[in-house]
């Protein structure tokens, strides 16, 4: 008698596993619709504005559109482009529109530049 009950339990357990386990394991939720629709964020370690002052040590003062002034120090290996041509730090001029990519681990109002792109009148 126990053998029949045991066989019946094992058989019903196997039937349950065959019918319901694959359904619950293979169910995949659809990804949220916002994943494919997101646009890339602009880099946090960039700024743009206008050069308002160039100090004797080469540090430039960049005035952003929001009115905030940031000191930017070009390093020896800073890539500088002015009017779509490679340039040196001494070729930057007051009034140039400038875009700067800087090191992200520095003071809030003082940046060390990795790349500077400037446009202005010659």
Residues 56-82: pLDDT tens digits? 999 999 999 999 999 999 999 999 999
Q: What is the rounded end-to-end Cα distance, in angstroms, of the chain?
A: 102
Kindly report the backbone phi and psi dihedral angles of residue 35, in degrees, each rounded to the nearest multiple of 5, phi listed first: -65, -45
Q: How far is CA 22 from CA 8, 61, 62, in A?
A: 22, 64, 62
Check: pTM over 0.75? Answer yes or no: no
E strand segments, 26-68: 46-54, 60-63
CB atoms within 10 A of CB 49: 21
Q: Between the CA atoms of 71, 46, 107 and 97, what dihedral angle is there, to the nearest 10 degrees?
A: 10
Percent of the chain at pLDDT above 90?
Answer: 53
């Amino acid at each position: 008698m126990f053998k029949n009950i045991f066989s019946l339990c094992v058989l019903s357990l196997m039937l349950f596993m065959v019918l319901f386990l694959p359904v619950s394991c293979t169910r995949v939720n659809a990804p949220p619709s916002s994943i494919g629709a997101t646009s890339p964020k602009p880099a946090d370690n960039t700024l743009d504005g206008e050069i308002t002052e160039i100090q004797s040590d080469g540090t430039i003062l960049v005035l952003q559109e929001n009115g905030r002034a940031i000191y930017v120090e070009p390093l020896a290996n800073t890539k500088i482009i002015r009017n779509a041509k490679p340039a040196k730090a001494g070729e930057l001029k007051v009034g140039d529109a400038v875009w700067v990519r800087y090191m992200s681990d520095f003071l809030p109002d003082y940046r060390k530049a990795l790349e500077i792109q400037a446009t202005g009148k010659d």
